[in-house]
Structure 1
């Protein structure tokens, strides 16, 4: 199950109470107070971790309670401090305060962590309250309560490239051909129900590709599936816009392209200015060349023509994507930003009942770069 937005309540542990105790030993008259301090309560820490690609593990519980600190004891023995509780989230998780509606922290990179709810401090024992006027204090300090926070965890996928387009435009098929990801593929719209990530491995170079569920007109207002997943293209530095030349619903492919562009701009104005590669898929269909020419005339940009099923144009497209991703990384490094490079083992497939290969009606090579499209064939 893929989960990318949850609301949970976090309560850090309470500090242990201090102890009221008097030293009572033979041959030690008026031993005085010897109550120890209570231990600190456990804090709750959120940490972004590689290999975690969904919030599903945290979605089964609405409340998380950290352990309390142990109480102090006599002979100035301190209570046991509780061990902090660490909750692992995917890189790219934004932590939002549910009450105030503000962003607490954005855990973009693997290893990013912070204390979201701090544990209470342990109370002081009566040994701390001994004075010249009160040599036998009978009071101690209770432990303080741990912080309680209601937070929203919202995942925005960490990907170099985002695949966008109308339903059934061929996004999942393309992802399955150029990476080792195996998304569900079928000949009906909205086959993809959640974003899929795949690593395109080119030997010494690689990039992360995100397949976003199909968008439709009105997605930014909540129509279709796109409203829930538009956030996953926010971090992608490059958009690959796939256009189907002969949609099954008989809509105009040029109008479909413009509609998706409008939805991206309405959701986030910066997405409309994001670098884009336009790709006409299913080149084996009639009219694909005409759609390519029309899109080139409309945008003035180069338009790629591919067929993910038979492998046409994939080498050129992957080379162009890899080249642009590398230029963006170089610009980020020059600007002092940190660049995280993921490996194949860092993106764990989501456990579903999806088919492991293409259905029979999409005959042809079905694996990634190892089938017909080799890294050595791509000149970068």
Structure 2
């Protein structure tokens, strides 16, 4: 089963909790704090595996959670960091954040790696909070929550050659005639719903050719199979434009050529620069020669190869022409595309989140924000000293003053995440 798009949930592992402990050795009076730090949570890492060709595995498993780090222990023992969760994806996979639409990674080469969800750091043990003013603190941190997000995976087929053209022009027949692939062939539009790959073997030379779903007017806006088709064209080094020169469906071959190139240009300007070969198919049928003559008159500078996929006429000449042209084209992707893909994988520092926002719901003041909510989750709410530290940090962040400006008074209820408390003047 060919699957080229999937939506999944990923979560980095939470960090382990820090420990509260004190040295209790016979000859070491007042030994001081000895609570160790928690270990870091594992990252969710996507790795390209050239042995994969589809996203079908993500159809059955849609949740990926990395393990959390170990908790800190007494005697200053730090918890162990968790193993990273490795998820294998086929080459040509683009990872997009489902909420923001941002491209997280563009994975094209075997072995390429990208961290999709980072694990949280371990919480600090009480030995980290010792000061001259408080040499025996009962303060520790919970582990930092791991990053979590929904992502969309899009697979763009990594083929040397892509067959493009209107539905029913003979792309699948051409693929089956020159490779061992067995695509579905039938006498109706959109027989091909997903890309079919085949290998053309010319002895010392070979290349991968893809039969892509048919294209119609408006495809760049998603009409028909629209984006499902055009997404795969982006990865091909060479476009073979298959045209029904016999005009079996009553369309004008020249208009077909112009319209499809317009759709390619509107979808991605770079596709207009892609090398292209025109294959005039169905030349064994009546009126094909007359149509070809008019086609060449309108496009005198375009090299056209006359073929019949059904009778195999002209196929050998076409395949050798493709192989010759591929030798002059950079392997797999253009230099610009490789640079763009590598830039997408390089880690980018995330923007500093807004500290907090305050809204009101009936008589409850709700303080929200990634930074303040993370601070609550990392606070050990069962420890008086930890809660006092949290209160001091809220004051230093300006939360108390902001609540007063929003009308909060003594004994009013304030909620941060799942934690509720009373506002005290």
- Greater shift, 78-87 or 35-44, is seen at 78-87
- Distance in 2 (alpha carbons) for counterparts of 1:46 and 1:116: 7
1:337 to 1:40, Cα distance in 2 relative to 1, 3 A: closer
- Distance in 2 (alpha carbons) for counterparts of 1:331 and 1:66: 33
Q: Indicate yes or no: 2:124 matched with 1:109.
A: no
- Distance in 1 (alpha carbons) for counterparts of 2:331 and 2:230: 26
1:337 to 1:16, Cα distance in 2 relative to 1, 3 A: closer
Q: Report the Cα offset of residue 134 of structure 1.
A: 3.9
- Distance in 2 (alpha carbons) for counterparts of 1:212 and 1:332: 18
1:176 to 1:336, Cα distance in 2 relative to 1, 3 A: closer
2:228 is aligned to: 228
Map of 1:34-53 to 2, 5 A cutoff?
Answer: 34-53=34-53
Q: Indicate yes or no: 2:304 matched with 1:303.
A: yes
Q: Report the Cα offset of residue 80 of structure 1.
A: 2.9
CA shift digits 1:257-303 (9 cap, x unpaired): 33222222222233233321111122322222223323222222221
1:155 to 1:128, Cα distance in 2 relative to 1, 3 A: same
2:289 is aligned to: 289
Which residues of structure 2 form unaligned runs of 5+? 340-425
Which residues of structure 1 form unaligned runs of 5+? 339-380
Query: Is contact 2:39-2:79 (8 Å) kept?
Result: yes
2:200 is aligned to: 200
Q: Indicate yes or no: 2:169 matched with 1:169.
A: yes
Q: Report the Cα offset of residue 213 of structure 1.
A: 0.4
2:381 is aligned to: none
2:74 is aligned to: 74
Query: Is contact 1:175-1:198 (8 Å) kept?
Result: yes
- Distance in 2 (alpha carbons) for counterparts of 1:230 and 1:83: 38
Q: Indicate yes or no: 2:57 matched with 1:57.
A: yes
Q: Report the Cα offset of residue 255 of structure 1.
A: 2.7
- Higher normalized contact order (CA 8 Å, seq sep 6+, divided by chain length): 1
Give secondary structure in 2 for the equivalent of 1:327. coil
1:164 to 1:104, Cα distance in 2 relative to 1, 3 A: same
Q: Report the Cα offset of residue 168 of structure 1.
A: 1.4
Query: Is contact 1:280-1:291 (8 Å) kept?
Result: no
CA shift digits 1:312-336 (9 cap, x unpaired): 2111111110111110127989999
Give secondary structure in 2 for the equivalent of 1:152. strand
When the two structures are superposed, what TM-score results if normalisation uses the length of structure 2? 0.73
- Greater shift, 294-303 or 189-198, is seen at 294-303
1:16 is aligned to: 16
Q: Indicate yes or no: 2:138 matched with 1:138.
A: yes
1:111 to 1:36, Cα distance in 2 relative to 1, 3 A: same
- Distance in 2 (alpha carbons) for counterparts of 1:270 and 1:136: 64
- Distance in 1 (alpha carbons) for counterparts of 2:165 and 2:210: 12
CA shift digits 1:62-96 (9 cap, x unpaired): 54322211211122332232211122222122222
Give secondary structure in 1 for the equivalent of 2:327. helix
- Distance in 1 (alpha carbons) for counterparts of 2:133 and 2:69: 31
Give secondary structure in 2 for the equivalent of 1:150. strand
1:129 is aligned to: 129
Give secondary structure in 1 for the equivalent of 2:191. coil
1:217 to 1:113, Cα distance in 2 relative to 1, 3 A: same
1:321 is aligned to: 322
Count of aligned pairs: 338
